[in-house]
Amino acid sequence: MTNEYKILGEKLNEQGTAKVLMYAKEESNILNRACCAPNHALKVKFHMPDPNNNKKPSKNPEDVVWTMERDGCCTKWLNCCCPLTGCCQQDMKLWAGNMEEDIGKITGQLIGRAMVPKPFGGCLTPTLHIMERDATEPGAKLEGPTLFGGCTELCFTTEWPISKFASEKKAGDLAMIQKMKPDTFTDAMKELLGDADTYRMSVSPGMSADQKAVFLASLLLLDYMFFERDSDMIKFENGCQTLTINCFMLYCCGVLCPCTCTLDARKDKDGDGIPDN
């Protein structure tokens, strides 16, 4: 299925719940998505809420504020590998308004873009370089931890600071993105059995509307790159006789390397619950 995101404000409304600021809805080819997800080509459109029903996005095309575009496996065959060249490089572009053109052919008002740096993608630090409009040099950088994901998502909140490009590593002087650990048992089951995630982003004072928009789109690119993976924590195979537990992911030069342990009932001939080898 395509992804949908609900973007909430920090302040509470009269009912004591956070106000819905907008909805973000993915548009992608079903075959591309089925074969290549999460590295598929896609557009994500940011919709204002329906004025008559705040719980649904507006269906009016004029209420689409931004369009995020990401090339995928049909145009970038190696975009899950070490970003040595452009064909391996994960990136996104954010456009103003409702862009109906095909991916790769969009023209209009470019708000900003984000990309994994070449040639080694930040080495052991997950990194995105963020640029405003048609700038040729990055003005900001998003960085994350070397170890994250897997079962650690159930226990720890991870931080992904956005800093000025000239700032020290992980200074977080522009914004802070947090991948939140689940607060309830229901949320934990969603994390364990699916790919539903919750993020919190706080932006430093003085940021322009365009900068906030690019930071938000970079958060979605972060989600697709690192956390949009079905059954990322546990996987049953061989007729449920083999259980693979993904303890965490190691980031190395643009590639995610899972650290796993496997329990195989087929090797437990004496029935004591412990594999014989």
Could you report the per-residue pLDDT of 100-153, keeping only the tens digit for each?
A: 999 989 999 999 999 999 888 999 999 999 999 988 899 999 999 999 999 999
Task: Give mean pLDDT, residues 175-195.
Answer: 88
Task: Give mean pLDDT, residues 48-55.
Answer: 89
Residue 275: predicted pLDDT? 57
Q: Whole-model pTM?
A: 0.90
Gyration radius from the chain CA atoms: 20
Higher pLDDT, 38 or 74: 38
- Per-residue pLDDT band at 276 (split at 50, 70, 90): low
Residue 156 has pLDDT above 80, yes or no: yes
Considering only CA atoms, which of 169, 160, 161, 173 is closest in space to residue 227?
A: 160
Residue 218: predicted pLDDT? 97
Residue spans per domain, the chain: 4-267
